Structure 1
């Protein structure tokens, strides 16, 4: 059976992703097969995980997914030697109203799977208090076990010594300490980290981080504390939660502007017998004429709005396609299906015009959170009345949303949200990203 750890922290921004990548590569360099997962909704981190391990990483989400779906996704780690599940936000951070199998907190996954937690602590501006924080996390929720901590961004040897002594006093192992100015940080963007495929030196950066971690983290002790993940023996990878494909042959927009779709969604479509037919709007390509549905995921179309507006072949071919077959867009894809997009400089770019939606980044406003939707009318592969779970994360504001609403959408607490999505003829779109069907 593989060993397993959840890598979490008291808060966002402590270095969870960098440490996860460094550990994955450092153990891989030792010949240990590592399988990564990401707790919660996140498109970008799993791509970095895959770059570090050579294995596809998928999201596991206790708010959106029932236990059987989580088990089915986790089962892919049965043939690994070590599982590293990167958490999101702080260890116990989730929503107030539980979802399918929890609140969305990383602690849900740790307790559900019986995986111990490796805490990443950034002790800037504190010393012994870091031990109090770690002890508080250890004692907060029965069933969640803290294996130890790695200190990130330590100021000096004296600073490290103070914290180590305090941690010893509360019986929490310190497995390593990384210096404050270690040159292993990854660049960021407004929705999180820059996408993995955009970093030409990514492999080199991960290698540098792995070498630093191998020098300053006790990998043998960490592996011993991971313990055996005995629950894998009961998991069957064939028991996948069913995901309804939007069609038999799916023309899927895939490039730097359209990359936010969860691997488990694509795998679920393929498992149901669907064929994926990628095309690149940035390369001025339209959907394959043999496809029976076109799907435009989210991504960063606002960074490529001028280019998309100038790609007449893409726009014309998508318009012709939509006259006889369904087209759906999520978040960024939804914006591109609209009439226009205003970039952060205030310049309007004409989009495909298949929907009347107008959006703007000139005055940014964060829209973030889980979403539960009930379809008012059909969308590709799903009938009116279908219940869906997903999440929304963007900084665009709606200027105009004139078409018929696609769904009644509520947040995790049950409050209505104005981003209802739209429908016009064969074209549909939503601001929320689909994670799972609510059965």
Structure 2
């Protein structure tokens, strides 16, 4: 029987990921099997979870997924001793309009699964007020239970004592207090953490975080606070249609943002996936029947992508007879040109007319519901797709046929419609699930 726990906080940037990784590795070092999940659409954290636990992690998302899909995904924790779901943003932060089974808030997952919440509180610049915040989070929603608190970035023993006393008076358990420790800080980039595969010292960093947390947090008390959980494996699979039978998938530092559950769903449906590296000047497998370019950081590698003739010619030849689809960064690479943050314009593959620029950065962030006006790999006209968009590029030109009518989570129509030209299609959003 597994023990389930949700790791959350009042806000982003408080230390949820670091604590999740540290707990996972510390318990793994004790011989426990630990399974992690990520609540919400963040596609970077699951790779860190896998590095800490040795088990694949996936996203669960109440805005984009129904309860059956979420149950299917979390059923992989059946054979684990401990199951940790790391939240995103603050505990109750989601969108204003309800999606498939919730608003995308971490609290939705906690209530749905019946797992208590371990709060990470950063009391910097405050003392007793931290207890007021924790109390408010505990009492805000009846179906969400609070296990207790771990304090992070505590300034001094006196500071810790003030906060602990206030939390104890409020009846909230304090499992530990972490003083500031720069050595376990995870490096960040503009879309969040620098990817796990880019960090050669990630194992050592997680080990240090585990050692540090084990020294300052009562791991046994945290484990006792988790909910006993014995799920039955979900009968249904994921509601995802693979884009083809043989999929050529771009996969390297420039093309790495793909949801793990999507790849698993494609394989479960019988699809075969072969990877290639545009940065290594490789083209897609000629025997594949579809090519998929995920998002990533093409703006950091635009010069190399532009210069890699074998990749560009191979992709162009592939697109003459078979579909090619790009998401976000992959979509930009399918376009005519990309201008980097220094204002340098780089020619891309030209399969679409899209031109984008990072010279004047503007954040585009949020859930997307798209109704296809033209077909794309795996989906016909009229299909309704749920996804998430997060990038800082601006559109300079988007001359091709719009791929979809796209709405944000409030129902407002947005300009990032995606594009279609010949066999090439692209979207700014990353696909999470199909609407049933």
Q: How does 1:95-134 map to 2 (within 5 A)?
A: 95-134=95-134
1:364-375 matches, cutoff 5 A? 364-375=361-372
Tell whether 2:239 aligns with 1:242.
yes
Question: Partner of 1:287 in structure 2?
Answer: 284
Q: How does 1:36-435 map to 2 (within 5 A)?
A: 36-230=36-230, 232=231, 234-236=232-234, 238-435=235-432
Output one character per residue of 1:56-115: Cα deviation in whole Å (capped at 9) or x when no partner.
000000000011000000000000000010000000000010000000000000000000
Q: Distance in 1 between matches of 2:224 and 2:67?
A: 27
Superposition deviation, residue 126 in structure 1? 0.4
8 Å CA contact 2:114–2:227 kept in 1: the answer is no
- Report the CA distance between 1:428 and its aligned residue: 0.2
Stretches of structure 1 that go unaligned for 5 or more consecutive residues are none
1:334 CA displacement: 0.1
SS of the equivalent of 1:183 reads: helix
Looking at structure 1, the residues matched to 116 and 233 of structure 2 have their Cα atoms a distance apart, in angstroms, of 19
Kept in 1: contact 2:34–2:53 (CA 8 A): yes
1:235, distance to aligned residue in structure 2 (A): 3.3
Displacement, 1:227? 2.5
Q: State the TM-score, normalized to the length of structure 1.
A: 0.99
Give the alignment's Cα RMSD to 1 decimal: 0.7
CA contact (8 A) 1:72 1:241 kept: yes
Q: Hey, what's the Cα distance between the residues in 2 that align with 1:235 and 1:288?
A: 35
> How far does residue 43 in structure 1 lie from its aligned partner after superposition?
1.1
> In 2, Cα distance between the equivalents of 1:296 and 1:97?
30
Instruction: Indicate if the aligned counterparts of 1:34 and 1:84 stay in contact, CA closer than 8 A.
Output: yes
Q: What secondary structure, in the 3-state scheme, does the structure 2 residue paired with 1:131 have?
A: helix
Q: CA deviation at 1:182?
A: 4.5
Contact 2:76 2:233 in 1 (8 A): no
Instruction: Say if 1:34 and 1:80, in contact at 8 Å, map to a contact too.
Output: yes
Counterparts of 2:387 and 2:357, CA distance in 1: 23
Given the two structures, how large is their TM-score scaled by the length of structure 2? 0.99
Q: Distance in 2 between matches of 1:205 and 1:227?
A: 29
Q: Which residue of 1 aligns with 2:21?
A: 21
C-alpha separation in 2, matches of 1:158 and 1:171:
20
Identify unmatched segments of 5+ residues in structure 2: none
Q: Secondary structure at the residue paired with 1:62?
A: coil
Say whether the 8 Å CA contact 2:242–2:378 is kept in structure 1.
yes
State the secondary structure of the residue aligned to 2:304: helix
Tell whether the 8 Å contact from 1:36 to 1:84 is kept in structure 2 after alignment: yes
Secondary structure of the residue that 1:228 maps to in structure 2? strand
Structure 1 residue 183: deviation in Å? Answer: 2.2
Deviation of the 1:229 alpha carbon = 1.6
Contact between 2:335 and 2:355, CA under 8 Å: does it hold in 1? yes
CA deviations 1:208-230 (Å, max 9, x no partner) are 00001111000000000013024
1:154-208 alpha-carbon deviations (Å, 9 max, x no partner):
0000000011110110100000000023521100000000000111110000000
> What is the SS of the residue equivalent to 1:36?
strand
Which deviates the most, 176-185 or 411-420?
A: 176-185
- Partner SS, residue 402 of structure 2: coil
SS at match of 1:153: strand
1:6 deviates by 0.4
> 1:421 Cα shift?
0.2
For the Cα contact (< 8 Å) 1:361–1:395, is it kept in 2?
Answer: yes
- The answer to whether the 8 A contact 2:156-2:179 is kept is yes
Question: What CA distance in whole angstroms lies between the structure 2 residues aligned with 1:96 and 1:295?
Answer: 32
Determine if contact 1:153/1:182 at 8 Å carries over to the other structure: no
